[in-house]
Amino acid sequence: MTRTFRGDTTPAGIGASLSRGFTLLELVLVIAIIALLLGLGLPAILHARDASSRVECSNHLHQIGLALHQYHDVRGSLPPGVSTNEAFHPSWHVHLLPYLEQDALAADARRSAHVPLPITGPDPGSAHQGLRTVLPVFGCPADGRVSSTYNFFGLEVALTSYIGVQGLNRARRNGLLYENSHVRFRDIKDGTSHTLAVGERPPYPPGLWGVWYSGIWGVGPSGTGSVVLGVREPCAPPFFGNAPCGNTVFRFGPGSINNSQDAYHFWSLHHGGANFLFADGATHFMSYSAEGVMAALASRAGGEVVDYP
């Protein structure tokens, strides 16, 4: 027997419910909830990203620490912070190249030792290839600028986030890496675990401060501000500085990549402090609250007893 159904068999109200859209109030409520979730999640995402870049940055400094120790094992001392007896004032970074698996760049630097730096270039195959070679180990991942070269009026230069600690300042040079230094581990009377070797300082490329290859653009021949730095440097504005700084003595604290004077003290793009490499090869994230002990940590034989955060 065939049964015939007539009329709409859909239960009353279901079709109406399916076809009804959001009201304006419901839409506003959904948007508000999404905004709230984003607001709660974004800080966590940013915190995780900062933590990740801090760890990777610390790993780069750890590699540099291993290279410093290997250099010392072979040469009997740490490298000079900057060598002013060579035409292009090679930095301590250049001296570490053979210990960072960069033999080709190291050989090029040796061949180029008495060749003046180019003012436009260098061309492929010419001297000083390191000047425009980006090496990730010399850059903090929190700063995207170090992942590519900077064009300075036609001169392509590669940048670094890591600056040698020359001690209190360019006059005292009581640290580990300074002009023509050759510090031995046995000279570090304060202990290698209590003496700074390298710290973070974002580059200031408009003044060519932070070019890893050479310290020639620093204050005088010392490389100060370019590849080495003290923890209490007196005023000497970087090239192309944006304001006089008078009798200012620069200290460890927050900075800005747009302020030329912040090229004169250690700081980082991480939140709350910066990574430092110690002479024993350990890396520590130093809070800006540690500024009061930085002078003691920067000296190799000051006799201070220091507890740091």
pLDDT 10s digits, 126-179: 899 999 999 999 999 999 999 999 998 889 999 999 999 999 999 999 999 999
Instruction: Name the average pLDDT for the chain.
Output: 88
Token pair 């180019």 is at which residue?
Answer: 118
Give domain limits for the chain: 49-298
Confidence of residue 233 (pLDDT cuts 50, 70, 90): very high
Between 124 and 57, residue with greater pLDDT? 57
pLDDT 10s digits, 8-49: 444 444 444 444 566 877 777 778 777 776 676 655 555 556
Question: What integer pLDDT is reported at residue 28 of this predicted model?
Answer: 77
Contact criterion met (CB below 8 Å) for 198 and 276? yes
Contact criterion met (CB below 8 Å) for 210 and 199? no
Provide the 8-state DSSP code for 124: T
**Once rounded to an integer, what is the mean pLDDT over residues 186-190?**
97
- Whole-angstrom CA distances from 208 to 21, 151, 227, 229 are 60, 10, 10, 15
Question: What integer pLDDT is reported at residue 189 of this predicted model?
Answer: 97
pLDDT 10s digits, 251-289: 999 999 999 999 999 999 999 999 999 999 999 999 999
Question: What integer pLDDT is reported at residue 309 of this predicted model?
Answer: 64
**Once rounded to an integer, what is the mean pLDDT over residues 191-206?**
96
Question: What integer pLDDT is reported at residue 167 of this predicted model?
Answer: 98
Angle at 233 between CA 131 and CA 274, to 5 degrees: 70
pLDDT 10s digits, 58-100: 999 999 999 999 999 999 999 999 999 999 999 999 999 999 9
Amino acid type, 207:
G
SS3 209: strand
Q: What is the pTM of this model?
A: 0.84
Question: What integer pLDDT is reported at residue 15 of this predicted model?
Answer: 44
